[in-house]
Structure 1
Amino acid sequence: MDRICIDGSDARLVAKLHIWAATDDCISSIGGQAFNAINGPSFTWKEIWPILANKFEVEVPQKMFLEDFWFEKAMSDKKKVWQEIVSKQGLIQTEMEDSANWVFLDMLFRCQVKMLGTRDKADHLGFKMRYKTLDSILYWIDFMRNETFIP
């Protein structure tokens, strides 16, 4: 998790890139090309976890950086805890697994290949919108808090 670099894609950037590709005369004339909608610089989760923990006012459990830590296993008995949080915080009634895919996180954090794309083609053709991935993550946390999906 501390060595694996990945990209991030903000949903707002993805939407803007699709609109740009569909409506820009120069782009739409080149025949439906595909573009990578990537925020910008790559990152490691080990860089991001402390900032996320601070946002939620919790500590980062160091055991989650160990090779034998699996989110699916660690979270398997936390459904009741989530329901207590939902009730106590007045959140929208959801099941934990509707908001978090632990199997996907385990795969993402253990992927042994670099999952890096390039946004060079879109940049070269004039699409300049970017987000810093950490800023995107913090934005969406605030958004989900405002909508009472998370505490």
Structure 2
Amino acid sequence: MADVVSTLAAPHRKRDATAASATAIRPEAPRRALVVGASGLLGENLCRRVAETPGWQLTTLSRRPPAVAGSAHVSLDLKAHDHCLAHASALADITHVFFCARELSKGYGIDVDVNGEMLANLLDALADGAPHLRHVQLMHGLKWYGTHVGPVRIPAREDDPAHADSSFYLRQQEDLIRRCARSGWTWSTIRPHFLCAFATGSPSNLVLMLGTFASLLKEMGDDLWFPGSQDAFDAVTGCADIDLVTSAMLWAASEESCANNAFNIGNGDVFRWRDVWPLIAETFGLRPGPVRITDLPAYMADKGPVWERLAARRGLKPLPLDQLADWHFAQNNVFGLAWDVVPSLVKAHRHGFHEVVDTGEMFARLFARYRSAGILP
């Protein structure tokens, strides 16, 4: 399969010979990235990107160390202010922070206050202990515009005001902007929709959720029916490949022209579930089924033993069903969006980020990877 990530134009400005020579004479000091939430779906993939990128060094921060070799690790309880301050000295060489952490409660609940305090506690520690800090980046999303609540302006643009229910995004961004004004740091925020990646232990994972859902229906002898409404089946939406997103994160944190800006990031194409559904069905040897509005958390409540039998028969890794998919996330944040969700990507393009991904090829590639890893049949 051809490489699904294509670069239409170089994301960085070309340097003339004089500039290149000057850089050779005065090499830039290494950037030391602190990836916060390093053991999550996004965090682990970003850690790999940082570790593989020349000129970057990596420090990770999470409750459990991520599976990335050769990095320094800091274990902090971001909800404990005193604990963060007590360990501020561990952040002394940090130049760039990528804040990917979030606190979720059961049922995919998000506490605005807790997530706001987690960032504030870390920023207090950085103000005390990171004299070389230059840039802090927040990973947010299209909830800034209220896409999880109802129809929004199409396309959603970065200068659109935050929705009244923008999750914790507005609180975090306003706090960070105030801190940057005092400390001389710069900031950025990245706003993708539906992160798509290879990862386990991160149930709010679109691709693995879709593959798990299809595999369960096949095991039960059913067709691949759509669990949302007809409006959701017909709505225009999009998603973001994890490799594209991590590339955009380093770009936005590095380019001077990107400082103090928010950027929508996506694959560059859009789709309707009604058009993708037959492709997913074919991938798993199913027939596409009808629209069938379903309470997914209730429907899946007794399907754990079904998955265990399937996994044992097919020789899959013995992962519990609740580690593969969060059905509240699927119900409310995927199949419950009965309106178009289309962000504008113009701002990122104008600032120099031109990477794109074909979404259909991305789904095929990631499904194949989950199969080869023995996670999906």
TM-score (normalizing by structure 2): 0.36
CA contact (8 A) 2:267 2:359 kept: yes
Shift of 1:53: 0.9
Which position in structure 2 is the counterpart of 1:20?
251
1:92-130 Cα shifts (integer Å, max 9, x gaps): 111112111212222221223432212111111221110
| 336, 348, 362: which one aligns with 1:110 | 336
CA distance in 1 between partners of 2:280 and 2:258 (Å): 41
Aligned ranges for residues 49-68 of structure 1 at < 5 Å? 49-62=277-290, 65-66=291-292, 68=293
Q: Secondary structure at the match of 2:364?
A: helix
| 129, 135, 149: which one aligns with 2:355 | 129
Structure 1's consecutive aligned runs of 4 or more residues displaced over 3 angstroms after TM superposition are none
1:23-55 Cα shifts (integer Å, max 9, x gaps): 3xxx33442422222001221112111101100
CA distance in 2 between partners of 1:12 and 1:149 (Å): 20
CA distance in 2 between partners of 1:32 and 1:88 (Å): 53
Which position in structure 2 is the counterpart of 1:97?
322
Which position in structure 2 is the counterpart of 1:42?
270
1:73 aligns with 2:298: yes
Shift of 1:77: 2.1
CA distance in 2 between partners of 1:70 and 1:118 (Å): 32
1:8-32 Cα shifts (integer Å, max 9, x gaps): 1110110111122223xxx334424
CA contact (8 A) 2:258 2:351 kept: no
Q: Relative to 1, partners in 2 of residues 1:30 and 1:59: Cα closer, same or farther, differing over 3 Å?
A: closer
| 236, 239, 247: which one aligns with 1:5 | 236
Question: How many residue pairs are counted as aligned between the two chains?
Answer: 145
CA distance in 2 between partners of 1:30 and 1:60 (Å): 43
Q: Relative to 1, partners in 2 of residues 1:74 and 1:21: Cα closer, same or farther, differing over 3 Å?
A: same
CA distance in 1 between partners of 2:345 and 2:362 (Å): 17
Q: Percent identity?
A: 25
Q: What residue identity is the alignment partner of 2:321?
A: M
Specify every segment of 5 or more residues in structure 1 that has no aligned partner in the other structure, as ranges: none
Q: What residue identity is the alignment partner of 1:126?
A: G
Q: Secondary structure at the match of 2:269?
A: coil
CA distance in 2 between partners of 1:150 and 1:71 (Å): 20
CA distance in 2 between partners of 1:147 and 1:79 (Å): 20
TM-score (normalizing by structure 1): 0.85
Greater percentage in strand? 2
Q: Relative to 1, partners in 2 of residues 1:117 and 1:12: Cα closer, same or farther, differing over 3 Å?
A: same
CA contact (8 A) 1:144 1:150 kept: yes
CA distance in 2 between partners of 1:74 and 1:48 (Å): 23
CA distance in 2 between partners of 1:137 and 1:116 (Å): 19
CA contact (8 A) 1:38 1:118 kept: no
Aligned ranges for residues 136-147 of structure 1 at < 5 Å? 136-147=362-373
CA distance in 2 between partners of 1:30 and 1:77 (Å): 48
CA distance in 2 between partners of 1:46 and 1:71 (Å): 19
Greater percentage in helix? 1
Specify every segment of 5 or more residues in structure 2 that has no aligned partner in the other structure, as ranges: 1-231
CA distance in 2 between partners of 1:47 and 1:113 (Å): 16
